[in-house]
Structure 1
Amino acid sequence: MNEPYVSVGILSGKSIKFSLSGIYSTDDVRVVAGEQIVTLSDSGMSILWNGSLYSSIEFRPTSYDGDTFELNDVVNGVDFHWQRAEKQRFKGVLRFIVSNGRLTAINSIKVEDYLVSVISSEMSPDSSLPFLRAHAIISRSWLLAQIKHDKRPGRDTFRNDNKEIIRWWDHEDHSDYDVCADDHCQRYQGVQRIKGSVASGAVEDTSGMVLMADGMLCDTRFSKCCGGVFEEFESCWDDEHHSYLIARRDNINSDRFPDLTDESEARKWILSKPKSFCDTSDDQILSQVLNSYDRERKDFYRWTEIISQEKLVTLLRERSNINVGNIINMIPVQRGTSGRIVRLHIIGTKGDIVIGKELMIRRTLSESHLLSSAFVVEKNFSDSEEIPSSFTLHGAGWGHGVGLCQIGAAVMGEKGYTYDEILRHYYPGASIVKLY
């Protein structure tokens, strides 16, 4: 197998400003360096560039390694608390298409070059080499699994029967390219994130290496902080079990943990602080995994959010079109293996509804996503009121908790674990295979 290319959706809009550094060519013209702009035609069906209309247009570099392009106003962390826009510079091919009445900028790039940017975007070049090597392998495995996987646009990822709203988001959302450049897939923030040779070395050291199980590429999910126990795949996405994405304790004694699908056990676990790899406040370790904007808060392992009654009613209506009056209670119906809530029963003065899965819950209860759905609910009352004035959520972890826990893996790397030991911890039963 030769090294493949990957197509990455970077940015969408009615118009997109970009600049070229080097000499690029399209099907009918050579384009020299300088600022450019593409806009949507009045009909909304074509791309207007340089006075001509195109159904799609591709800018190809004369020198793959020497020429680069820059896109304005690329948004990072869409809908999360760190959302912001910035200019980003990329290598490879730049293509524009029209999709759903908007322009989309797509970058085609070699997989290994893409991975160097991902590793640099997801974590610091000061991270330990075992951690970076482990992450290079899982980032490559996940990516190649997405490229290989059949896109199924008609797949049922949303169910609403007026009693339950169950929804999840996955890579099937991307039909025009392989992966996006944001946290929905993997952070890919261009060549300006690449500093020094450490990330490049970690990718080169593991070139072509992936995780496989049962003869197939592993769907190597990862998140920031599992909260102490790993979640299973089916709690967050399809009702499909993966043998290597199972519950384990994020500690030396990985097989010793309580049954967090049980409500009483989950409550005790979340309200306590059991020793885990990902329980750290060491800024040197956290800085390996978290960019400066990620570290605007440090309560990842255990956290607390207070939501007023008025705010909660507004969030339910605006985020998920739910109107059940004032909220009386929120009760977990189903928890996953990490204690994350898979189905949450919301009871109001005008009705009730069950929502899930975990990301739907996180999106509904916050303007920028809750850190995780592993939380317990405390009702707060003002004097003489029967309806809670606010709710306190005591939570654990950051992200979906499936697969590699980035903070936990960074701690393992600092403690001297090798990259293959880290991978065996988070993906038990998977094997490292060199594809190319």
Structure 2
Amino acid sequence: MKNQPKIEVGIIACEELQFALSGQFSSKNSEFSGTFKAVVKNGQVVLSKNSKETEITNEFIFQPTNNDSFFELNNVIIGVNFHWEQKENQQFKGSLKLIPEHEKVRAINIIDLEEYLKSVISSEMSATSSPDLLKAHAVISRSWLLAQIEKTKSLQAGGALYQTSHETEDEIVRWYDREDHHNFDVCADDHCQRYQGITKIHSEKALKAVEDTSGEVLVYDDKICDARFSKCCGGIAESFENVWEPVTHPYLTKVVDNKKSPRNFNLNLGDESNAEKWIRNNPPAFCNTSDKKVLSQVLPDFDQTTTDFYRWKVGYTQKEISELIKKRSGIDFGKIIKLEPVKRGVSGRLIKLKIRGTKKTLTVGKELEIRKWLSESHLYSAAFVVDHLDVEEGIPQKIVLSGAGWGHGVGLCQIGAAVMGGQGYSYKKILNHYFRSAKIKKLYQDG
């Protein structure tokens, strides 16, 4: 690969898209500028300006005619299904592509990969982050995206059905990855990587981190690594196959987030007694920190109120837990008798959880599905143990989850990496810590 690729980022899909083109844009040999509305009628995108329909087609691509032009999309949802979900108007450089998608207008940003990364690193990381944390994140974000594009091409070429679930009468196992992105390379929200265009000010440090690592990716066996990251691993990083598809990646395996293994713990966390001791205690780890200066590097303002991410507790009454699981799963279990661990991963995260109710007993997995069923948004992680309290006639009146970490825990631990960067670790050493067996390779030169 000699030059950086252009990528397509899915920003928003809505029944009525309101947007503005600032500066001059061209599309289908015509010039466009100003405020517009787009809807879908009869499978076509209908463009209106000042309540007057101007164009009807199956696809618009508005290309900027100079470097100063940008476009703004109204009411973009960020943090979809998370506790801080909100809408905001967002601005973007590059081209705007509009297509019909299930009776909605889909807005896609076509942008150079390195420009995309400058926004991602500024959105995911704070301007106060250490240079090496930013560089490490630039490399893994670039690697992840290119790996996803290669995977999509491979799946399309092979024509095989990409399975993301397994369901029987007694078990539901689901994972969430690439299955809902067919019309673009990557989405703009946390499902992929947080991308907010030029809405947020791009920090000079983030820009320099992207430029200093331009074209650099992680590779294993000369293949671009599917590099992952999460907020906080909880002390041990999880293996890829325990969270997503059953494929082993040697660079996404168990990693103790410490210079050495903590004393007095058996780290075979697939064993229930070992997992319980690990989760109920507070072992040392890079990501075990309450340093606000460090946390501000990784957590945006709306997340900085969270202080119990390394070890946390959530309690439900019987009424709350039974109604919650019914609402989130669509299954009426009746009263919840027991939440029973069936299988754990290398970090102690639950891969399978058996839910025993008075009306139904069923096993659920993988980790994100478990988190979805046990929270109105997403439970911090699936690394938790359960206390069934105030049992009356075999029915607990209260259920308490005691957990570890924030997110799936695979790959780079953002908070752990922030601590490492603050302690003077280079970005290459940070990457070597979280992605064992992977190497850094420069794919292209241009920034």
TM-score band, normalised by the shorter chain? over 0.9
Distance 1:189 1:247 in 2: 32
1:212 aligned residue: 219
Match of 2:302 among 293, 311, 327: 293
1:370 aligned residue: 379
Match of 1:327 among 318, 332, 336: 336
Task: Name the aligned partner's letter for residue 349 of structure 1.
Answer: T
CA deviation digits over 1:131-175, x for unaligned, max 9?
Answer: 000100000000111111135483110121111000010023201
CA deviation digits over 1:85-116, x for unaligned, max 9?
Answer: 11111100101111122211000100000000
- Correspondences of 1:234-383 after superposition (within 5 Å): 234-253=241-260, 258-381=267-390
- Correspondences of 1:14-413 after superposition (within 5 Å): 14-32=15-33, 34-41=34-41, 43=42, 45-50=43-48, 51=53, 52-63=55-66, 65-150=67-152, 152=155, 154-253=161-260, 258-381=267-390, 384-413=392-421
Distance 2:25 2:273 in 1: 62
Distance 1:369 1:359 in 2: 8
Q: Which moved more, 1:94-103 or 1:264-273?
A: 94-103
CA positional deviation for 1:310: 1.7
Aligned CA RMSD, in angstroms, stands at: 1.4
SS at match of 1:149: helix
CA deviation digits over 1:49-86, x for unaligned, max 9?
Answer: 031321111111001x3111111111111101111111
Q: TM-score, length-normalised on structure 2?
A: 0.94
Return 5+ residue gaps in structure 1 as ranges: none
CA positional deviation for 1:255: 9.4
CA positional deviation for 1:254: 5.6
Q: Which moved more, 1:399-408 or 1:76-85?
A: 76-85
CA contact (8 A) 2:118 2:202 kept: no
CA contact (8 A) 1:307 1:391 kept: yes
Task: Name the aligned partner's letter for residue 19 of structure 2.
Answer: F
| Gap change, CA 1:311 and 1:28, over 3 Å in 2 | farther
Q: TM-score, length-normalised on structure 1?
A: 0.96
1:423 aligned residue: 431
Return 5+ residue gaps in structure 2 as ranges: none
2:10 aligned residue: 9
CA contact (8 A) 1:223 1:398 kept: yes
Distance 1:134 1:196 in 2: 16
CA contact (8 A) 1:68 1:91 kept: yes
CA deviation digits over 1:314-335, x for unaligned, max 9?
Answer: 2222222121211000011000
SS at match of 1:130: helix
What count of residue pairs does the alignment treat as equivalent? 431
Q: Which moved more, 1:254-263 or 1:385-394?
A: 254-263
Task: Name the aligned partner's letter for residue 39 of structure 1.
Answer: V
The runs of at least 4 aligned residues of structure 1 exceeding 6 Å deviation read: none
SS at match of 2:63: strand
CA contact (8 A) 1:248 1:254 kept: no
Task: Name the aligned partner's letter for residue 27 of structure 1.
Answer: K
CA positional deviation for 1:195: 3.4
Distance 1:254 1:71 in 2: 48
CA contact (8 A) 1:222 1:406 kept: yes
Q: Which moved more, 1:151-160 or 1:92-101?
A: 151-160
CA deviation digits over 1:298-353, x for unaligned, max 9?
Answer: 11100111122222222222222121211000011000000000000000011200
Task: Name the aligned partner's letter for residue 190 of structure 2.
Answer: D
CA positional deviation for 1:385: 4.9
Task: Name the aligned partner's letter for residue 260 of structure 2.
Answer: N
Matched-pair identity in %? 50
Task: Name the aligned partner's letter for residue 32 of structure 2.
Answer: V
CA deviation digits over 1:210-240, x for unaligned, max 9?
Answer: 0000111000000000000010001110111
Task: Name the aligned partner's letter for residue 274 of structure 1.
Answer: P
Distance 2:270 2:35 in 1: 55
CA contact (8 A) 2:39 2:104 kept: no
CA contact (8 A) 1:116 1:194 kept: no
Q: Which moved more, 1:420-429 or 1:99-108?
A: 99-108
Distance 2:56 2:22 in 1: 23
Distance 1:66 1:309 in 2: 57
Distance 2:113 2:358 in 1: 53
